[in-house]
Chains A and B, each alone.
Chain A
Amino acid sequence: MLVGLEIHQRLEGKKLFNRCPTPAADQPLDANATKFMRRLNTSAGELGKQDEASEFESMRKRYFEYVAPQKFSCLVDMDEEPPGPINNVALIAALKFSKHINAQIIDEIHMMRKTVVDGSNTSGFQRTALISLGGVLNAGEMQIPISTVCLEEESCGIVSNNGDAARYRLDRLGIPLIEVSTEPVFTSVEQTLHGAQAIGMSLRMLGNVMRGLGTIRQDVNISTPQGSRVEIKGLQDLSLLKPLIENEEKRQEGLIQISAELQKRRKAVGISAPEKISYVDLSPMLANSQCQIIKKALSSGGAVLGAKLEMYAGLLGKELYANRRFGTELSDYAKVSGGVKGMLHSDEDLAKYGLTLEEIKIIRKTLGVHEPDAFILIADERQSASRAIEGALSRAYVLGVPLETRRADEKGGSSFMRPIAGAHRMYPETDVRPILANKELLAKVGKLESFDEKKKELCNLLGDDLGARMAKSYNLATFQKLVDAGADPKLAALTLEQTLVALRREGANVNSITDEFLLELFSLYSKEKITKAAFSQILSFACKNSDDSAQKICEEQNLYKISGKALLDLWKKEGTDTKSFMAKFRFIVDASELFGLLNIKK
């Protein structure tokens, strides 16, 4: 087994081809957002051939609804205005990473359109450009060979999906993504995990990467010796990498065994694989069925379609990995091709769906199903059902492991998404001029610090524990900003990695704390306007009122530090013993100052 990784990292700032700000990962969807509706047609690729993946999608008659928050989307995102010039900050970030891994930067960068017709791009394509080829990322003892670095646009976020329609949010569309693809070099789960983390950490050194769930995404491609190359998309949680790889290995092994068994059976009776797809309308003989699925389809004018799978008895029920059988694989194709809810097959307990023995007998007889055969049933609106059963049958007849793009689920499994995309999916983005990566541009690209260098530097500055933690933290860029503005490094690190973490655990909305707020907070501290102890109080109020400045919070909540004569006056009035005094005024009194004053007094 060989595993390769494609890491997609979102960059924050502005979108790739317009000047909209990028939304936060957990940006709530604005209730007043504009809505609009679109459809997509297919079109021939640059070489005149249609990509199989996009043709497959277009079989589905779907429409798409988009929700467009005003603040984070514009006419370019709506596919109503041509793209503007490329976001130079994002371009430089991609070049910087390429330089870091010593890759061969493309002399002249050509923006491409990658056909995507599932509605996740309003235009029907994703803009993407190859920035560099080759290179090696040094990650401790591991040398990770990188095949490509691309710069591309993020797709829309999906809100809901059913057979006929999908709803997407437009704010996510167009966020710059750096895509780093490795060669298929990982031979174990542990290695792959290490590789994914190393690439993620290294990208984080760029500084302008986004943080939060979904802002870094791993696609995994897995190939097994007898199987084929399968791409699995949308893995958001690295902890699922282990079951994902293990399950895929099992799935491919299982599919190979099933194919071998099928070929053996066919050979034994001297039949060959079916040449064309055929199925039968079973609606008339099941008109009175009490099976809910069938009843529902027929009562709304739909149909029940059935097909025989000769010599497939027992194969559909064969488990590939937990909760996934060969039948599930066929069902995926039915769902994707026809937008149906599911498929029934003869290796299941059909009685549990309400089919009687008598009905099953009729079905078997009509389809000509004998002992060694299996059958599948689909009940839905007629056109959807025919497309679905054609999809399922065409999958059933494929031997071995088909080349597929699959979608990772939350349990470490995956389901079929579309056939693997080919080169015909790409054609030039004519609205954007090619970009020359000349000396002038490359001179603007600075050096990216390696993760190990950075970690070493931070450990020297903050001690080993805090240093290592800061190096891996998403707050690294903020930390850097605070230190550059003159903040005490240790206090800055503790505030980011302890105070804010503690507040988040208490349920405070720490995401609403901006870098600007933290800069103001540290500036108040350096001007001796507030105490260290007041930080968590001020931050806690800021989580509740994200629009307030630190100054406003200090004024309203009486959190300005008291010192000098005012402190002495307070001591005279309230002080009995230092312990209870400090307990009462810990947010606004600096203990060392108090002791200093009292010692002098004594």
Chain B
Amino acid sequence: MYDKATSSLLQTLGIKIGDYVRFEKKGAKPIEGMLLMRPESGDTNCLVLKLSTGYNIGINPHEGALEKTKSGKTQEKIGGQAVNMAGTLKKDSLHLISTGGTISSRIDYQTGAVHPQIDASGLVKLYPRLEKFEPIFVRSIFSVLSENMNPTHWTQMAQAVKESFDDGARGVVIAHGTDTMGYSAAALSYALDGLGAPVILTGAQRSPDRASSDAAQNMFCSMAAAGANFSGVYLCMHASTNDDINHLHFGTRVRKSHTSGRWAFKSVGAQPAAQVNRNAGEIKFFSELPGKNLQSKIILKNKFSQNVHLAWAYPGISPKTISSWSEYDGVVVAGTGLGHLPADSRAKTSEKTVLSEIKQLVDSGVVVAMAPQALEGRVMLETYSSGRLLEDAGIIGNGADWLAETAYVKLCWALGQSKDFKKACELMMTPMHNDISEFSAVNTGE
């Protein structure tokens, strides 16, 4: 967007975006170029011109003479509408559901930054190798960067997946922003009861407008996985920086462990479920996965509470902070060590303490669940006195080796399924979709 003075100058001169202009500063050679929209950032006085060499430059039109030389075509908007469909709705198709994020991003001329703009049909055109998996049915259900998602998006995604299978899909791929893709994978794991086929979430750490984008391989491997003979919700992304192998992670067991690397997604407290080769798309399973059954009907359990809090325990956390959680229906605490909050039994009984506030929360009906803030390992509330006191105060989670994010999603889901405190606690502590393992696998730490 150009500022007021610049916009009115353009208007006076009859210059529109896409027109060719000549600009001449006193004593300098004239510059000719095509007027572009300008990115939001930087000096809004400057016009952005594209020169015939392809370079963009910013010039200050108020410091020289500007004139229009030729009318141009207005730049076509890249991308499509928020909701559209493409391909043929055939039985046994693979379905691609686009939700936004880097994988469907392009340059946005409003901001000069990358924004979700490519629709689902554009994605298949971008990656010709996907032809191998046709027929593919594609649609966009929304177009949001995943940092802007909330539990209502999980509800809609689960609904869309069910619709796909009702329409005869044999597997579903969801193109998703990477920021909170792990949360969505966990949410879908809980929401799609009776799922009998693969649901694969994938994304990109490098946007598809660059030749090095990881989107092509992630999309290819995800399609290969979606067509394969197993079921469940998985996340499929690069296994390493190399463009060769993708990992399939269990939806409840995956965390974005690097801000920018292609290998950002790692299975935590579990091995990846499988790997997919980018050449032929063959899958190597690392453990036995549930088989495929397209006859199986999905029972949607896609209600999520939007009133759950995820808190981080830290040295100096105050009773005041704990009591402020009373506005929530549920709280997951990522505790220190084995699952701790400061809980000193020597405090005077009259004083407000972290422990007393926790007890009060639980007594008032707030579900408080403990998860480890350590990357791996199990919550063990019975080892130290702090843990025992917290457990006595009513914190749940003892014995769970869940990820804090997964515990958060699960609590949103559990409270969406039942407002009853006891029932929600029961759901929380019932292992499902690999979220809580029976015993900790042998690990030498190497």
In the complex the two chains form, is B241's CB within 8 Å of A80's CB? yes
In the complex the two chains form, is B57's CB within 8 Å of A423's CB? no
Across the interface, which residues of A come within 8 angstroms of B76, CB to CB? Answer: 48
In the complex the two chains form, is A110's CB within 8 Å of B107's CB? no
CA distance A129 to B51 in the complex (A): 12
Across the interface, which residues of A come within 8 angstroms of B78, CB to CB? Answer: 48
CA distance A117 to B51 in the complex (A): 22
Q: Nearest residue in A to B210 (C-beta to C-beta)?
A: A124
Q: Nearest residue in B to A111 (C-beta to C-beta)?
A: B56
CA distance A47 to B78 in the complex (A): 9
CA distance A148 to B55 in the complex (A): 11
Across the interface, which residues of A come within 8 angstroms of B50, CB to CB? Answer: 423
Across the interface, which residues of A come within 8 angstroms of B316, CB to CB? Answer: none
Q: Out of B25, B28, B43, B113, which one reaches A430, CB within 8 Å?
A: B113
Would you call A425 an interface residue if the criterion is a C-beta within 8 Å of the partner chain's C-beta atoms?
Answer: yes
CA distance A78 to B42 in the complex (A): 28
In the complex the two chains form, is B60's CB within 8 Å of A110's CB? no
Once A43-B210, A117-B211, A433-B41 are accepted as A-B contacts, the answer to whether A428 and B56 lie under 8 Å apart by CB is yes
CA distance A590 to B31 in the complex (A): 65
In the complex the two chains form, is B242's CB within 8 Å of A37's CB? yes
In the complex the two chains form, is B58's CB within 8 Å of A434's CB? yes
In the complex the two chains form, is A123's CB within 8 Å of B58's CB? no
Q: Nearest residue in A to B58 (C-beta to C-beta)?
A: A108
Would you call B80 an interface residue if the criterion is a C-beta within 8 Å of the partner chain's C-beta atoms?
Answer: no
Would you call A360 an interface residue if the criterion is a C-beta within 8 Å of the partner chain's C-beta atoms?
Answer: no
Would you call B382 an interface residue if the criterion is a C-beta within 8 Å of the partner chain's C-beta atoms?
Answer: no
Q: Out of B58, B126, B243, which one reaches A38, CB within 8 Å?
A: B243
Q: How far is the CB of A425 from chain B (nearest CB, A)?
A: 6
Across the interface, which residues of B come within 8 angstroms of A422, CB to CB? Answer: 54
Once A43-B211, A110-B48, A436-B43 are accepted as A-B contacts, the answer to whether A428 and B242 lie under 8 Å apart by CB is no
Q: How far is the CB of B126 from chain A (nearest CB, A)?
A: 7
Across the interface, which residues of B come within 8 angstroms of A109, CB to CB? Answer: 57-58
Q: Nearest residue in A to B55 (C-beta to C-beta)?
A: A130
Once A107-B46, A134-B28 are accepted as A-B contacts, the answer to whether A112 and B260 lie under 8 Å apart by CB is no
Total number of B residues with any Cβ neighbor in A under 8 Å: 50
CA distance A13 to B126 in the complex (A): 39
Total of A-B residue pairs, C-beta within 8 Å: 148
Across the interface, which residues of B come within 8 angstroms of A58, CB to CB? Answer: 211
In the complex the two chains form, is A133's CB within 8 Å of B31's CB? yes
Across the interface, which residues of B come within 8 angstroms of A117, CB to CB? Answer: 211
Would you call B14 an interface residue if the criterion is a C-beta within 8 Å of the partner chain's C-beta atoms?
Answer: no
Would you call A237 an interface residue if the criterion is a C-beta within 8 Å of the partner chain's C-beta atoms?
Answer: no
Residue-wise, chain A 63-93 has the 8 Å CB interface mask toward B (1 for contact) of 1000000000001001111100000000000
Across the interface, which residues of B come within 8 angstroms of A433, CB to CB? Answer: 39, 41-42, 112
CA distance A177 to B57 in the complex (A): 19
Q: Out of B42, B53, B107, B240, which one reaches A108, CB within 8 Å?
A: B42
In the complex the two chains form, is A80's CB within 8 Å of B211's CB? no
CA distance A48 to B55 in the complex (A): 16
Would you call A54 an interface residue if the criterion is a C-beta within 8 Å of the partner chain's C-beta atoms?
Answer: yes
Once A109-B58, A433-B42, A434-B112 are accepted as A-B contacts, the answer to whether A115 and B211 lie under 8 Å apart by CB is yes
Instruction: Find residues 95-114 in chain A having any chain B CB closer than 8 Å to their own CB.
Output: 104, 106-110, 112-114
CA distance A349 to B206 in the complex (A): 51
Q: How far is the CB of B147 from chain A (nearest CB, A)?
A: 16
Once A81-B260, A123-B212 are accepted as A-B contacts, the answer to whether A107 and B243 lie under 8 Å apart by CB is no
CA distance A362 to B300 in the complex (A): 70
In the complex the two chains form, is A40's CB within 8 Å of B212's CB? yes
CA distance A40 to B208 in the complex (A): 11
CA distance A572 to B43 in the complex (A): 79
Would you call B348 an interface residue if the criterion is a C-beta within 8 Å of the partner chain's C-beta atoms?
Answer: no
CA distance A109 to B76 in the complex (A): 25
Q: How far is the CB of A15 from chain B (nearest CB, A)?
A: 17
In the complex the two chains form, is B107's CB within 8 Å of A427's CB? yes
Once A112-B55, A434-B42 are accepted as A-B contacts, the answer to whether A39 and B243 lie under 8 Å apart by CB is yes
CA distance A150 to B25 in the complex (A): 20
Q: How far is the CB of B109 from chain A (nearest CB, A)?
A: 9
CA distance A54 to B211 in the complex (A): 10
Would you call B114 an interface residue if the criterion is a C-beta within 8 Å of the partner chain's C-beta atoms?
Answer: yes
Would you call B244 an interface residue if the criterion is a C-beta within 8 Å of the partner chain's C-beta atoms?
Answer: yes
In the complex the two chains form, is A107's CB within 8 Å of B58's CB? yes
Would you call B262 an interface residue if the criterion is a C-beta within 8 Å of the partner chain's C-beta atoms?
Answer: yes
Once A427-B209, A428-B107, A430-B113 are accepted as A-B contacts, the answer to whether A106 and B58 lie under 8 Å apart by CB is yes
Would you call B29 an interface residue if the criterion is a C-beta within 8 Å of the partner chain's C-beta atoms?
Answer: yes
Would you call A46 an interface residue if the criterion is a C-beta within 8 Å of the partner chain's C-beta atoms?
Answer: yes
Q: Out of B57, B58, B126, B243, which one reaches A63, CB within 8 Å?
A: B243
Q: How far is the CB of B22 from chain A (nearest CB, A)?
A: 13
Instruction: Find residues 337-362 in chain B having any chain A CB closer than 8 Å to their own CB.
Output: none
CA distance A42 to B213 in the complex (A): 9
In the complex the two chains form, is A37's CB within 8 Å of B244's CB? yes
Across the interface, which residues of A come within 8 angstroms of B55, CB to CB? Answer: 110, 112, 128-130, 150, 426
Across the interface, which residues of B come within 8 angstroms of A416, CB to CB? Answer: none
In the complex the two chains form, is A434's CB within 8 Å of B212's CB? no
Would you call A424 an interface residue if the criterion is a C-beta within 8 Å of the partner chain's C-beta atoms?
Answer: yes
In the complex the two chains form, is A43's CB within 8 Å of B126's CB? yes
Would you call A125 an interface residue if the criterion is a C-beta within 8 Å of the partner chain's C-beta atoms?
Answer: yes
CA distance A42 to B42 in the complex (A): 30
Which of A36, A38, A48, A82: most chain B CB closer than 10 A?
A: A38
Across the interface, which residues of A come within 8 angstroms of B209, CB to CB? Answer: 43-44, 427
CA distance A108 to B107 in the complex (A): 19
Q: Nearest residue in B to A123 (C-beta to C-beta)?
A: B212
In the complex the two chains form, is A104's CB within 8 Å of B212's CB? no
Instruction: Find residues 27-71 in chain A having any chain B CB closer than 8 Å to their own CB.
Output: 36-44, 46-48, 54, 58, 63
Once A107-B59, A423-B54 are accepted as A-B contacts, the answer to whether A122 and B107 lie under 8 Å apart by CB is no
Q: Out of B31, B46, B211, B260, which one reaches A41, CB within 8 Å?
A: B211
Q: Nearest residue in A to B53 (C-beta to C-beta)?
A: A423
Once A36-B241, A107-B59, A110-B57 are accepted as A-B contacts, the answer to whether A75 and B211 lie under 8 Å apart by CB is no
CA distance A148 to B217 in the complex (A): 39
Across the interface, which residues of A come within 8 angstroms of B430, CB to CB? Answer: none
CA distance A47 to B41 in the complex (A): 21
Across the interface, which residues of B come within 8 angstroms of A150, CB to CB? Answer: 55
Q: How far is the CB of B352 from chain A (nearest CB, A)?
A: 45
Residue-wise, chain B 43-72 has the 8 Å CB interface mask toward A (1 for contact) of 100101011111111111001000000000
Once A107-B46, A427-B107 are accepted as A-B contacts, the answer to whether A134 and B211 lie under 8 Å apart by CB is no
Q: Nearest residue in A to B112 (C-beta to C-beta)?
A: A430
Residue-wise, chain B 165-197 has the 8 Å CB interface mask toward A (1 for contact) of 000000000000000000000000000000000
Across the interface, which residues of B come within 8 angstroms of A424, CB to CB? Answer: 54
Q: Out of B43, B107, B242, B259, which one reaches A46, CB within 8 Å?
A: B107
Q: How far is the CB of B146 from chain A (nearest CB, A)?
A: 17
In the complex the two chains form, is B211's CB within 8 Å of A436's CB? no
In the complex the two chains form, is B261's CB within 8 Å of A80's CB? yes
Would you call B425 an interface residue if the criterion is a C-beta within 8 Å of the partner chain's C-beta atoms?
Answer: no
Q: How far is the CB of B260 from chain A (nearest CB, A)?
A: 5
Would you call B127 an interface residue if the criterion is a C-beta within 8 Å of the partner chain's C-beta atoms?
Answer: yes
In the complex the two chains form, is B244's CB within 8 Å of A130's CB? no
Instruction: Find residues 160-210 in chain A having any chain B CB closer than 8 Å to their own CB.
Output: none
Across the interface, which residues of A come within 8 angstroms of B262, CB to CB? Answer: 80
In the complex the two chains form, is A37's CB within 8 Å of B126's CB? no
Q: How far is the CB of B130 from chain A (nearest CB, A)?
A: 12
CA distance A434 to B43 in the complex (A): 8
Q: How far is the CB of B112 from chain A (nearest CB, A)?
A: 6
The 6 closest A-B pairs by CB, nearest first: A108-B58, A124-B211, A426-B54, A423-B54, A434-B42, A108-B46
Please name 13 further chain A to chain B contacts, defined as beta carbons within 8 Å, in addition to the given A38-B212, A81-B260, A125-B210, sorted by A numbering: A37-B242, A39-B243, A41-B211, A46-B107, A47-B75, A48-B78, A58-B211, A82-B260, A115-B211, A423-B53, A430-B114, A434-B41, A434-B43
Q: Would you list 7 pairs from A and B whose C-beta atoms are within 8 A, ordered by A residue?
A: A54-B211, A108-B58, A110-B55, A112-B54, A130-B51, A148-B53, A422-B54
Which residues of A are interface residues toward B (Cβ below 8 A)?
Answer: 36-44, 46-48, 54, 58, 63, 75, 78-82, 104, 106-110, 112-115, 117, 122-125, 128-130, 133-134, 148, 150, 422-428, 430, 433-436, 438
